[in-house]
Amino acid sequence: MEKVAEKVSADTPATAKTVLEVEGLKTYFFVRQGVVKAVDDISFSLKAGEKLAIVGESGCGKSMTALSILRLVPDPPGRIVAGSIKLDGKDLLKLSDAEMRKIRGNQISMIFQEPMTSLNPVWSIGNQISEAVMLHQNVSRHEAFDKAVEMLKLVKIPEPSRRAREYPHQLSGGMRQRAMTAMALACNPHVLLADEPTTALDVTIQAQILDLILELQERLGTAVVLITHDLGVVAETAKRVIVMYGGKIVEEAAVEDLFENPLHPYTQGLLAAVPHLAALSTQAGEAASRNRLKEIPGIVPALVNLPKGCVFAPRCPHASDVCRNEYPPYEMKQPGHGVACWHAGKLAGGAHA
Amino acid sequence: MGAYLVRRTVLFFVTVLGVSILIFGLMRIVPGNIADILFESSGFIDQVQKAKIEAELGLDKPLLQQYLSWIGGLAKGDFGFSYMSERPATAEILARLPVTLKLGGLTLFFTVLFGIPLGVWSAVKQNGFVDNTLRVVTLSALSLPSFWCGLLVLMFAVHVFGTIPIYSNEPRGVWQELALLSIPALVVGFRSSALIVRLTRSSMLEVMRQDYIRTARAKGASESSINYHHALKNAILPIITLLGIEASHLLGGLVVIETVFNIPGLGRYLVEAIRWRDYPIVQNLVLFSAFAVVITNFIVDMLYAVIDPRIKYSD
């Protein structure tokens, strides 16, 4: 563990090497109604020890991106139809199933959204964590169990050796998510995919779990992809953000940059929809009822047989003919700040309107 | 747990008492007793002898008294005498018990051996070639009566080998006995394993949709570990329930198959005893079988608690 920590502090994220590189990833679902383009031509990269957030509404393809990286897309009906996913330069999509199993839980692991249902109810917590260890390390059952207890201690579960023998139903939601985290980190993965790890938890526990994940991430030097719909979580945790809409990346930027200068109308809408405590309190006295929280009109489109043009166009206040006819190219507007919008240049700074 | 066991024990006695009344009543409703049969259908004896036999066996006493003397005897460990052989009922039953136990055990063994793995396989390959083939086979197995399958097997053996394997009371060695019993056990087990295949399949499909299966995959677990270690342990509770029911129904299936294959076990003996209105044998055998059912249910309930940590018996 010490060695890993040294390695990370030695090279800062800016100069660190790329661990994960996703290029042109397309994950489609072939259903009776047509083809659902859940993930449609996505490219991004992740450096060692980096904290990347992927935001978007439900159904925008962010969870499917994570599942695609682990090659866990339910097949049928889903299939990765194009692209490459390179882990340390090795394309995961070209690996055999057996080789892929050695990657899962070992070099890339995942924390799921639902701690209540994501743990196997008939095996003890310790058993489930030590299974992850035994799958990837050549250790005895006994050593693996000791490692499981150590991991439970690391995620700050009190009385870890007693808890290790307990079953999921004996643990609270927060405890279970800690156990999931322990399981995901048991083999010191290079990449941790956290798919809305705090969504199912109550608010006081949410912060604890996030802090825990970030603390361990820094300690172990793991790169994190945090999938969330909560911009508050993004601001607190990530360094870089990818905004997804309709299975595509619509904007990517450093966190401060994105919050200060969102270029895509969808990002602007998302930011405008965040309730501001200051704004609410000043107006609370006179006209709170008139000051409705801003929203993005319309709903997320069903991703079956999408029309040509920008997916966001039907909901976009700035949509023009070109938007409705042709999908905008993804362009770097500023260093490290990319966006896919025909009107991105004109709209800069629009979030604060 | 203590209170639970007490309650189960009380229930056990209530069940056995109910069954004893039921079987006693049913046997008296069936027209005629052993003396009637000897007197009327065969003409072996005359009216006087008939009255004498009835008095000897106590069949002329009021029904309540007959019942009480049976139960009273049981309480003292006296199971009465067989009317047919005039030997103690216990001796008659115990003499036939081993072969039936072996046959039943073997049937359950085949049921589990084929039922569960094929069910898992069927679920894993849902709607594939294996699943569809197994669907046809299992549905056929469920619709074919086991006596018919048994006869078919016998006819097949005669046709191909010119002979049929006949069960003898003194088989040469364990393996030969096993081989001889395997054929009828497979015939009976065919149907029950088909049931288990269907149930295992649907139970597994239900479990394999669960989030924790995805978690297991994300951990890097192999497919066989996912199927058997992660999924089956969750899917097995209804399968155990059905196995318990099948075990209880086994005697019914064995009655037929013992007759078809001419095996001197309890099933065939029961039919014979009913035909001769051999009350002590029928009553004690049925009571014994009720006892076995209650014990089986208890074992099933205990297995629940062993397999699923969420199940606890208390209060």
Strand partners, A87: A20, A90
Instruction: Quote the percentage of chain A above a pLDDT of 70.
Output: 88
pLDDT given at position A200:
76
pLDDT at B241: 92
- With a pLDDT cut of 90, the percent of chain A lying above it is 21
The per-residue pLDDT for A281 is 53
User: How distant, in Å, are the alpha carbons of A285, A311, B217 from that of A120?
Assistant: 51, 39, 12
Are the Cβ atoms of B310 and A102 closer than 8 angstroms? no
**How far is Cα B211 from Cα A74, in angstroms, rounded to an integer?**
12
* Contacts (Cβ under 8 Å, ≥6 apart) of B295: none
Q: In the predicted model, what is the mean pLDDT of chain A? A: 82
Locate tokens 């606890």: which residue?
Answer: B312
Q: Nearest CB to B218: which of A72, A123, A124?
A: A72
Taking contacts as CB-CB distances below 8 angstroms, the residues of chain A near B212 are: 117-121
**What residue of A is the nearest CA neighbor of B209?**
A74
How many Cα atoms are found within 13 Å in the side-chain-facing hemisphere of B149?
A: 19
Tokens 């008095």 belong to which residue? B55
Q: Hey, which residues 11-30 in chain B have their CB within 8 Å of chain A?
A: none
Q: How far apart are CA A26 and CA A73, in angstroms?
A: 12
Partner A contacted by B210 (CB < 8 A): yes
Q: At what angle do helices B173-208 and B129-143 cross, to 10 degrees?
A: 120
Predicted pLDDT at B117: 95
Question: For residue A112, which residues of chain B lie inside 8 Å, CB to CB?
Answer: 211, 214-215, 218
B221 contacts on A by Cβ (under 8 Å): 101, 105, 131, 135
By Cβ distance, the residue of A104, A117, A131 closest to B211 is: A117
Asked if A214 contacts A51 with a C-beta cutoff of 8 angstroms, the reply is yes
Residue of B nearest to A193 (CA): B218
3-state DSSP helix/strand/coil % of chain A, to nearest 5: 40, 25, 40
For residue A72, give the nearest of B210, B214, B309 by CB distance: B214
Distance in Å, alpha carbon of B144 to nearest chain A alpha carbon: 35
Phi, psi of A122 (to 5 degrees): -105, 5
Count the residues in chain B: 315
| B37-71 b/e (C-beta count within 10 Å ≥ 16 → b) | bbbeeeeeeeeeebeebbeebebeeeeeebbeebb
Whether A70 and chain B come into contact, CB under 8 Å, resolves to: yes
Collapsed DSSP state (helix, strand, coil) of residue A41: strand
Cβ contact A131–B309 (<8 Å)? no
Nearest Cβ partner for B233 among A101, A122, A169: A122
Low-confidence ranges of chain B (pLDDT < 50): none
Judge: A135–B217 Cβ closer than 8 Å, yes or no: no
- Could you say which of A70, A101, A119 has the minimum Cβ distance to residue B212? A119
Greater confidence, A5 or A140?
A: A140
Q: What residues of chain A, 87 to 126, have a C-beta less than 8 Å from chain B? A: 101-106, 109-110, 112, 114, 117-124
Minimal C-alpha gap between A301 and chain B (Å): 26
Residue A240 is given by DSSP the state: E
Q: Is A143 exposed, middle or buried (0-12, 13-18, 19+ CB in 10 A)?
A: middle
The pLDDT tens digits for B195-217 are 999 999 999 999 999 999 999 99
Cβ-nearest to A105 among B210, B212, B219: B219
Is the CB of A109 less than 8 angstroms away from the CB of B218? yes
pTM over 0.90: no
| A154-167 tens-digit pLDDT | 888 889 999 999 99
* The dihedral formed by the CA atoms of A192, A198, A201 and A205, expressed in degrees to the nearest 10: 90
CA-nearest of A180, A176, A181 to A214 is A181
What residues of A are in contact with residue B308 (Cβ under 8 Å)? Answer: 121-122
- Using a CB-CB cut-off of 8 Å, the residues of chain B touching A131 are 219, 221
Element at A346 (helix H, strand E): helix A344-347
Predicted local confidence at residue A291, as pLDDT: 63
Assess B307–A contact: CB distance below 8 Å, yes or no. yes
Summarize pLDDT for A281-335 with one digit per residue, the tens: 555 445 545 567 777 777 777 767 677 788 888 888 888 888 888 888 888 888 8
- CA-based nearest residue to A128, from B143, B219, B130, B197: B219
Number of residues written out for chain A: 353
The pLDDT assigned to B106 comes to 93
Kindly state the DSSP code that residue A69 receives in the 8-state scheme: H
pLDDT at residue A225 above 50?
A: yes
Determine the Cα–Cα distance for residues A170 and B242; give it in Å rounded to an integer: 29
Distance CA(A144)–CA(A184), nearest Å, equals: 14
Chain B touched by A72 (CB under 8 Å): yes
pLDDT tens-digit readout, A113-150? 888 899 999 999 999 999 999 999 889 999 999 999 99
pLDDT value for B43: 65
Q: Which tokens belong to A214? A: 């970030």
CA gap A99, A71 in Å, rounded: 12
Q: In chain A, positions 119-178, which contact chain B (CB-CB < 8 Å)?
A: 119-124, 131-132, 135-136, 167, 169
Q: Which of A190, A185, A232 is nearest to A212 (CA)?
A: A185
Pick the residue of A122, A165, A177, A191 with the most B CBs within 10 A to test the interface with B by mutation.
A122
Asked if A10 reaches chain B (Cβ–Cβ under 8 Å), the answer is: no
Question: Which two three-digit tokens encode residue A91?
Answer: 């394309």
DSSP string for chain B: -HHHHHHHHHHHHHHHHHHHHHHHHHHHHSS--HHHIIIIIS--S-HHHHHHHHHHHTTTS-HHHHHHHHHHHHHTT---B-TTT-SBHHHHHHHHHHHHHHHHHHHHHHHHHHHHHHHHHHHHTTTSHHHHHHHHHHHHHHHS-HHHHHHHHHHHHHHHHSS-----SS-SHHHHHHHHHHHHHHHHHHHHHHHHHHHHHHHHHHHHTSHHHHHHHHHT--HHIIIIIIIIHHHHHHHHHHHHHHHHHHHHHHHHHHHHTT--SHHHHHHHHHHTT-HHHHHHHHHHHHHHHHHHHHHHHHHHHHH-TT-----
Q: Rounded to whole angstroms, how far apart are CA atoms A24 and A42?
A: 5
User: In the block, which residue shows the tokens 């030969």?
Assistant: B176
Which of B124, B205, B219, B222 to probe by mutation at the A interface, max A CB count within 10 Å?
Answer: B219
**SS3 assignment, position A43:** strand
Q: State how far the Cα of A143 lies from the Cα of A128, in Å rounded to an integer.
A: 14
State whether residue B306 sits within 8 Å of chain A by CB: no
Residues from chain B that touch A167, judged by Cβ atoms under 8 A, are 309-310
**B224 lies within 8 A of chain A by CB:** no
Taking CA–CA distances from A165, the nearest residue in chain B reads B309
Contact yes or no for A105 and B233 at CB 8 A:
no
